[in-house]
């Protein structure tokens, strides 16, 4: 049903009921009392009071609707202004997270025979990426959680298991299994980088639209 019809319908019903009441009132007066000047004056007074009430009700309704629309517009404007002010920091945070993820991917795949310090550096870098994405929003932050889990609960513990000491006390690494582990982790990181690139483009697009619409 058309929106305007929905808005008009209650008023049409109300006015129809008022008219019906007036007709019934006239009929009853005519039946029992006939039409005297006092009755006619009273009838006009009744009609005037009813119409005044209807007009007042319509005025209040229109005022409430106007206030509601103004409040909605004000809130929408404030929301856009808040987004415009916060978007640059969010875009920079995503950009920084992507840069750190590329660094993480290189540390995982390129560096061979990783020492305990190398593994700690990898874990520290993941913490920095989590900090960066937490400045954006919950959705972007959720993309990094799987990497956090994979690095701290899978990659680092499993990598340590693949290192054994030889008779001289030096670490010996199972290169085949280590390479397979590195490639799997690298793949997860690269997939996340692509997701963040998409999020960055979306943020940039929304920011440009917001700037254009608010000006």
Q: Which of 146, 151, 120 is nearest to 133 (CA)?
A: 146
Pick the closest to residue 116 from 173, 189, 167, 183 (CA basis): 173
| pLDDT, tens only, 77-126 | 677 777 788 889 999 999 999 999 999 999 998 767 888 899 999 999 99
Mean pLDDT of 47-59: 66
Enter the pTM of the model: 0.64
Do 125 and 106 meet the contact criterion of CB atoms below 8 Å apart? no
Q: How many CB atoms lie within 10 A of CB 136?
A: 23
CA proximity to 50, closest of 16, 27, 8, 5: 16
Per-residue pLDDT tens digits for 120-155: 999 999 999 999 999 999 999 999 999 999 999 999
Domain 75-214, CATH class in plain words: mainly alpha
Q: How far apart are CA 207 and CA 88, in angstroms?
A: 8
Long-range contact set of residues 135-138: C-beta below 8 Å, sequence gap at least 24? 135/89, 135/90, 135/93, 136/90, 136/93, 136/94, 136/97, 136/199, 136/203, 137/90
- Give the C-alpha separation, 205 to 199, whole Å: 10
Cα 202 to Cα 204: distance, rounded to the nearest angstrom: 5
With a pLDDT cut of 70, the percent of the chain lying above it is 63
């Amino acid at each position: 049903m058309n929106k305007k019809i929905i808005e008009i319908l209650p008023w049409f019903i109300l006015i129809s009921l008022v008219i019906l009441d007036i007709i019934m009132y006239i009929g009853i007066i005519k039946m029992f009392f006939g039409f005297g000047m006092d009755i006619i004056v009273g009838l006009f007074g009744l009609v005037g009071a009813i119409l005044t009430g209807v007009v007042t009700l319509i005025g209040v309704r229109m005022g409430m609707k106007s206030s509601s629309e103004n409040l909605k517009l004000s809130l929408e404007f404030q929301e856009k202004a808040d987004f415009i002010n916060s978007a640059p920091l969010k875009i920079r945070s995503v950009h920084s997270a992507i840069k750190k993820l590329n660094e993480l991917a290189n540390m995982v795949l390129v560096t061979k025979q990783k020492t305990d310090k190398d593994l700690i550096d990898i874990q520290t870098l993941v913490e920095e990426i989590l900090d960066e994405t937490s400045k954006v929003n919950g959705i972007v932050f959720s993309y990094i959680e799987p990497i956090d889990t994979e690095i701290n609960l899978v990659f680092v513990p499993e990598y340590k298991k693949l290192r054994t000491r030889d008779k001289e006390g030096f670490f010996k690494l199972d290169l085949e299994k280590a390479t397979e582990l590195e490639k799997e982790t690298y793949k997860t990181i690269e997939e996340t980088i692509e997701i963040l690139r998409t999020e960055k483009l979306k943020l940039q697009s929304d920011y440009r639209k917001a700037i254009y619409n608010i000006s």
